[in-house]
Amino acid sequence: MESAQIVLLLVIVVLTVLLTVLGIQVFLILREFRKTVDKANKVLDDTGIITESLSTPISTLSSLVMSIKTGISFANWLKKTYALLLQQISHKETKEPSEERSEEVMAPEEKEKELNGETQTSTPLSEERKPLVRRFFKGIGRKIRI
């Protein structure tokens, strides 16, 4: 055999061994990568389960807080309505007969004040205070931006 053939045979053997070792290393790297991806997938699955288990109580708590807020608003409305009702009742009970007398029975000084425009005109209670109107669901019809 000639020296060129021996060198060529030696190069072919060395390249074959190197490519075989390289192929085995690539196979081992891909196997490790597969294990890593499986672990990452398992971690993501566990994270999804934990997130779902936390979101249920939080949404329930949010609903409870909104219900309490609505209840407090309703209780405040009832309190104001009750106070207004008591005020109207006490206003009717505390009227003195002198306030109800007619124009003919008025003293001359009061008639002069009325003619000069110095008297205070009392407005009825319904004109002084208009009923309180509250909207509990203000956001109906609005689009929610996320």
Token pair listed for 85: 């009702």
State the residue for tokens 């124009």.
103
Residue pLDDT tens, the chain, 146 long: 799 999 999 999 999 999 999 999 999 999 999 999 999 999 999 999 999 888 888 889 999 999 999 999 999 999 999 988 888 887 776 655 554 444 445 555 655 665 565 544 444 444 556 555 555 556 565 556 66
Helix (H, G, I), strand (E, B) or coil at 122: coil
Single out the residue of 69, 41, 90, 59 nearest to residue 134, CA to CA: 69
DSSP class of 2: -
Domain boundaries, the chain: 7-89
Label residue 117 left, alpha or beta by phi (over 0 means left) and psi (-120 to 50 means alpha): left
